Structure 1
Amino acid sequence: MSQWAHDTFGQRAPAIRQAVAEALSVALENARDAQRMAQTDHLHPFGFTLMSRKFEALAEAFEDMGDVRIVKPAGSQHELVVLDGRLLFPFRYAKDRSLSVMSARIGDGRPSALVQALFNRFGPEPRMRQLALQGIAPQAVPIAEALGDLPEGTSLVLIAYACNAHAGLLDAWWGEAELLDRTGSLRWHHCEEIPLAQDTPAAYSSTLSLTFDTGDMPTPSLNARTGAERLAPPVSEAAPARSEAAAGE
């Protein structure tokens, strides 16, 4: 367990990390079941089910844990988990293993007003103020007001995962990042892999974490490597891949 996880969640960090992995697995299996039942080649059943179940499964996983609040911002269809002052926000960053999480974008295209508000209010202090939320902050004001009942010290913890209807959950990461621009680009301040429920014990001990305290973030190349191995220094800049979330997430 990393120092960041311990500082963020305390002694409950291992249990919380495992619950996050299990909740994502449940949401993915529910979405794959919906796709199979629909008996269609179109991926709308998978996408729409995943869009809702990723939030619901997290809420179900933590609803009985102490210091938990389940909030539903005005204008949002989904409930968000606030665990001991940490707001958990899951999003799909890729549909396969070709895109590094370091090149992840949040949302498919322009970030929603809710996403903007969450970063504005609860995200980490931007490393480069002139780039942070460039040109999009004013649109976040109405929903930011709806989040006003949450404590000022609440912080945003991102849960990024890759998946598809055929293979299910491929990998998952959590950490803190700032939203850079209207395309959903992120600058990770900290990012580490979440061992998945089906991983072997050896995978837990080999999990790597990265904390970027100084300098520019690396931009990895497209590759077929998996897990924390894909956080190695890049060879060339990667073009962002379009997420399968357009099918309904």
Structure 2
Amino acid sequence: MRVSQWAHDTFGQRVPLIRAGVAEALSVALENALDAQKVAQTDHLHPFGFTLMSRKFEALAEAFEDMGDVRVVKPGGSQHELVVLDGKLLFPFRYAKDRSVSVMSARIGDGRPSALVQALFNRFGPEPRMRQLALHDVAPHAVPVAEALGELPEDTRLVLIAYACNAHAGLLDAWWGEAELLDRLGSLRWHHCEQIPLTQEAGAPARGDSAAAFDQGVLPAPELNPRTGAARRTPPSAEPTPLRRGTARGA
């Protein structure tokens, strides 16, 4: 798969390596979520969802922990660690459970974006293409969070990783790029968005369309605590067993 100008400008010569690392991390997180669902032996998908929520951040940190320019930070008040790779803050989120939703219509989260998410966009996202309210007007509670992110350099860039998956079909697709946060509902305006190739091992069937790019990114939030790779939890080693049809009602 060819390397776009945006990807090259963002990650340099390491684009194929980083792109493959992202796909692998998403695959690992999904496998762990499926494993948790199997062990729970319940029709409800809470184990799958909760595990995926945490493991997607942890798996990213594990995928890149050996790179010298990686920093893992945990904003105060957040349960999750964030990966900053060569000044690019990677933020994964599930935008859909199936292919009925276009990534161009993606929303970040199912409800109102958290103070942390709003602060990340405000501080590290691209310049908005339309005038927006200041952070203290949109989300006053996010201001202290944004101020606490001062430990990260001003030129840090927010790179979004949007993916679609469910407990039956696995990882359907993944995209990365830069976008601006438009409203309190988590709507996005992509400045750039392109597909991340997935292998069969990453849980996605082969697809004819190799890549797509769109031209169409900004606002962020509490205190950062870098952690070493050794401090992070080792992912489960057991291979997950695919769910039988009928064992779960949703994704």
Structure-1-length-normalised TM-score = 0.81
Supply the distance in 2 between the matched residues of 1:145 and 1:133 (Cα, whole angstroms).
11
Match of 1:145 in 2: 147
CA shift at 1:96, angstroms?
Answer: 0.7
CA shift at 1:3, angstroms?
Answer: 0.5
Q: 1:39 to 1:75 in 2, by over 3 A?
A: same
The answer for unaligned runs of 5 or more in structure 2 is 218-249
Task: State the one-letter code of the partner of 2:56.
Answer: K
Please state whether the residue corresponding to 1:73 is helix, strand or coil: coil
Match of 1:24 in 2: 26
How many pairs were matched up? 214
Q: 1:158 to 1:132 in 2, by over 3 A?
A: farther
Asked if the contact 1:21–1:194 (Cα under 8 Å) also holds between the matched residues in 2, the reply is yes
Match of 1:58 in 2: 60
Supply the distance in 2 between the matched residues of 1:132 and 1:141 (Cα, whole angstroms).
10
Please state whether the residue corresponding to 2:151 is helix, strand or coil: coil
CA shift at 1:168, angstroms?
Answer: 1.2
Any idea what the Cα deviations from partners look like across 1:152-207, whole Å, max 9, x if unmatched? 0000000000011111111000000000010000000000000113289x869832
**Alignment match of 1:36 (pick from 27, 35, 38):** 38
CA RMSD of aligned residues (A): 2.3
Please state whether the residue corresponding to 1:76 is helix, strand or coil: coil
Supply the distance in 1 between the matched residues of 2:137 and 2:53 (Cα, whole angstroms).
27
What are the equivalent positions in structure 2 for 1:1-249 lying under 5 Å apart? 1-130=3-132, 135-198=137-200, 206-212=210-216
Q: 1:154 to 1:139 in 2, by over 3 A?
A: same
Please state whether the residue corresponding to 1:81 is helix, strand or coil: strand
Supply the distance in 2 between the matched residues of 1:135 and 1:108 (Cα, whole angstroms).
22
Q: 1:107 to 1:71 in 2, by over 3 A?
A: same
Asked if the contact 1:5–1:13 (Cα under 8 Å) also holds between the matched residues in 2, the reply is yes
Identity fraction in percent: 83
The answer for unaligned runs of 5 or more in structure 1 is 214-245
Task: State the one-letter code of the partner of 2:44.
Answer: H
CA shift at 1:135, angstroms?
Answer: 5.0
Structure with the larger RCO, 1 or 2 (CA within 8 Å, 6+ apart): 2
Task: State the one-letter code of the partner of 1:111.
Answer: P
Supply the distance in 2 between the matched residues of 1:83 and 1:32 (Cα, whole angstroms).
28
Task: State the one-letter code of the partner of 2:96.
Answer: A
Q: 1:160 to 1:91 in 2, by over 3 A?
A: same
Supply the distance in 2 between the matched residues of 1:31 and 1:10 (Cα, whole angstroms).
32
Structure-2-length-normalised TM-score = 0.80
